[in-house]
Chains A and B, each alone.
Chain A
Amino acid sequence: DVKVTQSSRYLVKRTGEKVFLECVQDMDHENMFWYRQDPGLGLRLIYFSYDVKMKEKGDIPEGYSVSREKKERFSLILESASTNQTSMYLCASSLRETEAFFGQGTRLTVV
C-alpha cells in the first residue's frame, strides 16, 4: 500500500513562529505536492516538486517555502506564521501523471 505520512494531524502555533510541516512517502514517487483546503475553495496548490531539489510555485505560494532534499520527504515551511494561514494542509505524491496519493492532512491553527 502506498503511504503518505504527514508529521502532525493537529498543530497550534503562534503568530510569527516559523512552522515546518513534514511529509514522507514510501513509494519512490517523483512528484510531491502541498495543498491547502479552505471551505468553498477546494484544494489550492501551494508548491509542487517534480524531483529532489526541484520545485515549482503553485497558485498560492506567498508566505510559504518548501524543501526537498531527499526524494521521499517534502517539507512545507511557513517562515512567519500568520492567522490567515490557519487551514487544513494536505500533502500528496504521484508517479508522474498517474493518480495522486494523499496524506491524512494537518489542521494548522495560528493564534
Chain B
Amino acid sequence: ILNVEQSPQSLHVQEGDSTNFTCSFPSSNFYALHWYRWETAKSPEALFVMTLNGDEKKKGRISATLNTKEGYSYLYIKGSQPEDSATYLCAFITRGGKLIFGQGTELSVKP
C-alpha cells in the first residue's frame, strides 16, 4: 500500500493568517502529485497538478511547491479568508494514472 501522509489533520486560523500544509509521499516511482480542495456539500476540485522536482505553482493566494527527491509537497495560503475553509487533499499519481490520496487537512478560517 502506497503511503501518502498529510499534516496537520486540521487547522483553525484567524482571517488574515497565512498557513501551510504538508504532503509526504514515496519518493520512488513518482509520476505526479495533485492538490485538491474539497468544500462542504461540493465535489473535490483540482488546484494544482505538479510533475517536476522543484515545481512551484500559484493560483491567487494559494501556492504549492514540490520536492520529489525527498518526497514532500507544501501548500501555502497567504492571508486566509473564510471562503478558504475546506479540506485540502493531496494525491500521489502512479504511472497509468492511479490516484492515492492522503487523509486531508481540514482548514477552518474564522472571521
A interface residues, Cβ below 8 angstroms from B: 4, 30-31, 33, 35, 40-45, 48, 50, 56, 59, 90, 92, 94, 96-105
Contact = CB atoms under 8 A, between A and B. Distances in A.
B105 to A, nearest CB: 10
Interface of B: 1, 6, 9, 31-32, 34, 36, 43-46, 49, 89, 91, 93, 95-104
Contacts of A98: 49, 97
Nearest to B9: A40
Main secondary structure of the interface of A (DSSP, over half): strand
A103 B44 CA distance: 9
Contacts, number: 64
A66 to B, nearest CB: 14
B104 A97 contact: no
Contacts of B95: 97
Contacts of A30: 97
B98 A56 contact: yes
A31 B93 CA distance: 12
4 smallest beta-carbon distances between A and B, as pairs:
A42-B103, A99-B46, A102-B43, A43-B101
